[in-house]
Amino acid sequence: MADTIDIRPGFADPVAASQKVFRAVLDAMSRPGRIGTIDETIEPPAPLSVGAASLLLALADHDTPLWLAPEIRTPATAAFLRFHCGSPLTDDPGEAAFAVATGDSLPALDGFSVGDDAWPETSTTVIVQLDELTEGSGLTLTGPGIATEHRLAVTGLRDGVWPEWTANGALFPRGIDLVLVADRRIAALPRTTAVRTED
């Protein structure tokens, strides 16, 4: 049948894998700019990366509306995430708990939910798929979780994101949180992280 979609398997051991992936992202969120690695062996449908797919398998479910950027939302990725996570797919990034986008076509950050001053946890966690993530050079990060400063180089991110990120930070306690993914490598920028693009 033409419209049958072959759904790739999720985690082989969901309990153990979810815990490991969570710890990786918890560590990334607690130490912005530090790069962690996802070791799970899954083969998500393209263009979903192993990192992004693992994060969603570990954290998303039917309580978390999910927004996928147009280039990521294919019949195969939608079916994969619906089947394994049960997340409702939304067309409105402003009502998503999780969003997945590609770095070079990342929508304006203010299109996602930034939450409410009284309920800042209701903001979107945006997973951004990048080409590369490298520690030790590039952006200078400061803020909670960082002893002095962390350096992080990102490849494959569209221009103009960092001024938007600064504006996002000014909304605190409201604001989105970013998880950057390059294949199996992940780093996170919670809304509290200040990013400097020059030395």
Partner 1 sequence: MSTVIPHPTASTATEATQARIEGYNFAYLDEQTKRMIRRAILKAVAVPGYQVPFGSREMPLPYGWGTGGIQVTAAVIGPDDTLKVIDQGADDTTNAVNIRRFFAKTAGVATTDRTVDASIIQTRHRIPETPLTEDQILVYQVPIPEPLRQLEPRESETRKMHALEEYGVMHVSLYEDIAKFGRITRSYNYPVRVNGRYVMAPSPIPKFDNPKMDRMPALQLFGAGREKRIYAVPPYTEVKSLDFEDHPFEVETWEENCALCGAGDSYLDEVIVDDQGTKMYVCSDSDYCRERREAGHVGDGGPNSGGPQ
Binding test (CB under 8 A) with partner 1, winner from 118, 159, 198, 199: 118
Query: Minimal CA–CA distance to 98: which of 64, 72, 70?
Result: 64
User: Which is closer to partner 1, CB of 60 or CB of 133?
Assistant: 60
User: Which is closer to partner 1, CB of 41 or CB of 155?
Assistant: 41
Give the separation between CA 72 and CA 114, rounded to whole angstroms.
22
Query: Minimal CA–CA distance to 11: which of 45, 64, 57, 60?
Result: 57
Return the SS3 of 170: helix
Binding test (CB under 8 A) with partner 1, winner from 52, 65, 165, 177: 177
190 binds partner 1 (CB under 8 A): yes
96 binds partner 1 (CB under 8 A): no
DSSP string for residues in 171-196: TTTS--EEEEEETTEEEEE-TT-EEE
167 binds partner 1 (CB under 8 A): no
- Per CB under 8 A, residues contacting partner 1 are 14-16, 18-20, 22-23, 25-26, 29-31, 58-61, 63-64, 97, 116-118, 120-121, 123, 125, 144-147, 172-173, 177, 190-192
